[in-house]
């Protein structure tokens, strides 16, 4: 993407949160990552997200994140939009990653700085400071999982920053979604940060979703998204219900390790996680395999095993 206008135009739809495949000793598997990217593009996903929380960026050095950005953009080119997670509490690192992401033609995704007792005013000042750094603008990630939840009122103030092109909303409480959907829809792009419960946000006018589990179940989650996108809520609901057993396992065993295990079982390039995360054990992998086998036996899911 060349600039903010093109970014706003193309920023919509279902984005695959592409896991970062590591080898057992923690090295990057860039060949496997390239295959994963090619697979989701070929399936018709609208974009990808690289190096986010489920991409395990907290376990990477700054140099590794730079290499990841460059390698991914070499693979993708301009075929689909790419969100590049540029989150960092060190403003110097955040600025460097944001500038690089924009220069490479990606969209920097930025969280609030995850430091203790940061105030709303300081968060707003942070975004006003770093948003102009990228020629493609920035995507604000409201990520309660890192310990900071941006209120709808604060997001409204951040939305006034000219170079903020969208919000990826991780707080999916009904009140927050209602306020954001009704106050911010049309002002900037709105993304539901989770595929666990995206039907409500989409019905309220969100522009898209990002999905980790689509790494393991791309056919099923893509079909559910396309149904709700076309206005067929009943079909979207029914398809979403089909993969509830996998969502249960993901909540129990953790992410991205559950998605990576399922990808490996399907012959995809899930790879291993990096410490402090641990790959699923034998019994956990067996339970994931049972769920996948059940999906493959149900023609409605579109899931096929290797």
54 is catalytic: no
Q: Would you state the pLDDT for residue 306?
A: 78
**Residue 2: which of 98, 73, 80, 104 has the closest Cα?**
104
Which CA distances in Å does 287 have to 141, 255, 282?
A: 32, 15, 9
d(CA 281, CA 164): 42
Beta-carbon neighbour count of residue 225 at 10 Å? 25
pLDDT at 147 over 80: no
pLDDT tens digit sequence for 199-210? 999 998 999 999
Contacts 24+ apart (CB under 8 A), 74-81: 75/33, 75/34, 75/37, 75/38, 76/37, 76/41, 76/48, 78/1, 78/105, 79/41, 80/41, 80/45, 80/46, 80/47, 80/48, 81/1, 81/7, 81/10, 81/11, 81/15, 81/46, 81/47, 81/106, 81/107
Q: Would you state the pLDDT for residue 102?
A: 97
Q: Would you state the pLDDT for residue 148?
A: 86
d(CA 255, CA 273): 10
Cβ neighbors of 280 (< 8 A, separation 6 or more) are 253, 257, 258, 261, 288
Q: What is the mean pLDDT of residues 38-59?
A: 96
The active-site residue out of 54, 141, 225, 260 is 141
Q: Would you state the pLDDT for residue 295?
A: 97
260 is catalytic: no
Q: Would you state the pLDDT for residue 115?
A: 83
Where are the domains positioned within the chain? 4-232
pLDDT tens digit sequence for 152-190? 999 999 999 999 999 999 999 999 999 999 999 999 999
145 band by pLDDT with thresholds 50, 70 and 90: confident
CB–CB of 48/18 below 8 Å? yes
Q: Between 1.10.1370.30, 3.40.50.10310, 3.20.20.70, 1.10.3720.10, what CATH number should domain 4-232 receive?
A: 3.20.20.70
146 band by pLDDT with thresholds 50, 70 and 90: confident
pLDDT tens digit sequence for 246-302? 999 999 999 999 999 999 999 999 999 999 999 999 999 999 999 999 999 999 999
The active-site residue out of 54, 168, 225, 260 is 168
């Amino acid at each position: 993407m060349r600039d903010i206008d093109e970014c706003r135009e193309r920023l919509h739809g279902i984005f695959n949160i592409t896991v970062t495949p590591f080898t057992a000793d923690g090295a990057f598997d860039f060949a496997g990552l390239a295959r994963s990217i090619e697979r989701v593009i070929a399936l018709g996903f609208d974009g990808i997200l690289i190096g986010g929380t489920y991409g395990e960026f907290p376990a990477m050095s700054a140099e590794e994140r730079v290499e990841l950005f460059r390698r991914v953009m070499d693979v993708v080119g301009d075929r689909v939009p790419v969100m590049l997670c540029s989150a960092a509490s060190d403003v110097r690192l955040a600025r460097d990653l944001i500038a690089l992401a924009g220069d490479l033609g990606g969209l920097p995704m930025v969280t609030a700085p995850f430091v203790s007792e940061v105030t709303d005013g300081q968060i707003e000042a942070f975004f006003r400071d770093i948003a102009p750094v990228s020629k493609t603008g920035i995507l604000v990630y409201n990520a309660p999982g890192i310990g900071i939840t941006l209120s709808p009122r604060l997001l409204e103030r951040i939305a006034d920053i000219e170079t903020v092109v969208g919000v990826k909303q991780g707080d999916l409480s009904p009140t927050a979604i209602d306020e954001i959907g009704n106050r911010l829809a049309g002002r900037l792009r709105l993304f539901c940060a989770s595929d666990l419960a995206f039907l409500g946000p989409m019905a309220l006018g969100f522009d898209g979703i990002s999905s980790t589990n689509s790494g393991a179940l791309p056919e099923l989650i893509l079909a559910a998204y396309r149904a709700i996108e076309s206005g067929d809520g009943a079909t979207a609901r029914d398809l979403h219900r089909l993969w509830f057993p996998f969502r249960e396992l993901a909540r129990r065993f953790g992410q991205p390790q559950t998605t990576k295990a399922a990808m490996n079982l399907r012959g995809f390039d899930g790879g291993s996680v990096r410490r402090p995360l641990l790959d699923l054990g034998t019994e956990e992998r067996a339970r994931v395999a049972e769920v996948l086998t059940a999906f493959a036996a149900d023609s409605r899911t579109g899931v096929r095993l290797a």
